[in-house]
Amino acid sequence: MGEYKRPVVSVVGAGNVGEHVANLIAIKEIANVRMFDLARQTEDKVYEIVKGKALDIKQMAAAIGCDVEVEGYTVTADGEGYEALAGSDIVVVTAGFPRRPGMSRDDLLSKNVGIIRTISERIAQFAPEAIVIVVSNPVDVLTYAAFRLTGFPANRVMGMAGVLDTARFKAFLSMELKVSVKNINAYVLGSHGDDMVPLLSVSNVGGEPLTKLIPEERLKEIVERTKFGGGEIVSLMGTSAYHAPGASVVEMVEAIINDKKEILPCSVYLDGDVAEFYDAEDVCIGIPVKLGAHGVEEILKLDFTPEEKDLWKSSVNSVKSGIERIKELGLI
């Protein structure tokens, strides 16, 4: 029998989101997992939590009969300890600070961009062929930073947000209409922030347009709840969500590892005729793409209504101002 080489997914940052990503990949037996995180120092002891989490997930997999390897690696903030990224098919980046109540995702930019910078350099050094999925916030700006700092082609760097925002929209619509989430076709595009763009013109339930099924005022409320879906959880928990974000990342990982050619909204760098089509030069922003073994294999060109175009423009501008900030600071 020929040797089967299981794919490898590395997860940098094994906090709330990272450990849920690792856990789901193990439960679904998608790939071997390598987790990377900092040590935690107390007064009298250094804890290598990431190694403990990896062992725990490996043992969980054994308990439910799943065959995957899960390994934990302690790294330093200045970039030591990343050699085991070598051979990764995908690197998921969830390292960085989450927001606390009262903060916007943009408030995390100055702290998290330095973290992404070091990690991007290590990915380029040890896993030059990998596909990178950025999760850390503000995700569109940090995806752009990772794209520039790794120097990877645009098809191999993407941010996770649209799958999560769309899942939230579907969850709220299914609660409203008492219908299976599977029957809801919807997209939430644009930036992952207050300016996200729920694409009502193409959203439907079993083929019937949303605008026919839900009165205008009520639909506006559902859209608003979706836009502030992350903030709703932050104010309930004191930190940000991780079950739905973890599952959304794994949806993207599965599409790539299994070469599914699945169309999912992801934050990607828009280039050439696509940038021109969307009037969005030199940004990473959420748009439906076809995900397969090569990463982003196609970017769809959707026609927006005039209202959607206005929302899209604000979204592009908000990502651009974040990118300007890190350029001015000399961070990319």
Ligand X SMILES: O=C([O-])CC(=O)C(=O)O
Ligand Y SMILES: NC(=O)C1=CN([C@@H]2O[C@H](COP(=O)(O)OP(=O)(O)OC[C@H]3O[C@@H](n4cnc5c(N)ncnc54)[C@H](O)[C@@H]3O)[C@@H](O)[C@H]2O)C=CC1
Residue 238 is classified by DSSP as: S
98 is an interface residue for ligand Y by CB under 6 A: yes
117 is an interface residue for ligand Y by CB under 6 A: no
Residue 112 marked in a binding site: yes
| N-terminal to C-terminal alpha carbon distance within the chain | 48
Partner residues linked to 36 by β-bridges? 12, 73
List the single partner that 89 binds among ligand Y, ligand X, none, CB under 5 to 8 Å by kind.
none
Residue 190 is classified by DSSP as: B
Q: Which of 22, 31, 70, 75 touches ligand Y by CB under 6 A?
A: 75
285 is an interface residue for ligand Y by CB under 6 A: no
3-state secondary structure 17-54: HHHHHHHHHHHCCCCEEEEEEECEECCCCEECHHHHHH
φ/ψ bin of 323: left (φ > 0), alpha (ψ from -120 to 50), beta (otherwise): alpha
159 is an interface residue for ligand X by CB under 6 A: no
203 closest CA partner among 253, 152, 166, 151: 166
Q: Least separation, in Å, of the C-beta of 296 and ligand Y? A: 17
Asked about 294 being catalytic, the answer comes back as no
Q: Which of 20, 34, 53, 99 touches ligand X by CB under 6 A?
A: 99
- Name the burial class of residue 67, with classes exposed (0-12), middle (13-18) and buried (19+) by CB atoms within 10 angstroms of its CB: exposed
Contact (CB, 8 A) for 109 and 193: no
Residue 135 marked in a binding site: yes
* Residue least distant from ligand Y (Cβ): 15
226 is an interface residue for ligand Y by CB under 6 A: no
Query: CA-CA distance, 262 to 297, in Å (whole number)?
Result: 10
List the single partner that 13 binds among ligand Y, ligand X, none, CB under 5 to 8 Å by kind.
ligand Y
- What's the gap between Cα 142 and its chain centre? 11
**284: helix, strand or coil:** strand
Residue 176: both structure tokens together: 């409203």
Q: Least separation, in Å, of the C-beta of 123 and ligand X? A: 21
Query: CA-CA distance, 36 to 19, in Å (whole number)?
Result: 10
List the single partner that 234 binds among ligand X, ligand Y, none, CB under 5 to 8 Å by kind.
ligand X
Q: Which of 70, 85, 161, 332 touches ligand Y by CB under 6 A?
A: 161
319 is an interface residue for ligand Y by CB under 6 A: no
Query: In terms of CB distance, is 32 or 166 closer to ligand Y?
Result: 166
Could you tell me which residues are annotated as the binding site for substrate?
Answer: 99, 105, 137, 168
Interface residues toward ligand Y, by CB under 6 A: 12-18, 37-38, 75, 77, 94-99, 108, 112, 115, 135-137, 139, 160-161, 164, 192, 239-242, 245
Interface residues toward ligand X, by CB under 6 A: 98-99, 105, 137, 164, 192, 230-231, 234, 240-241, 245
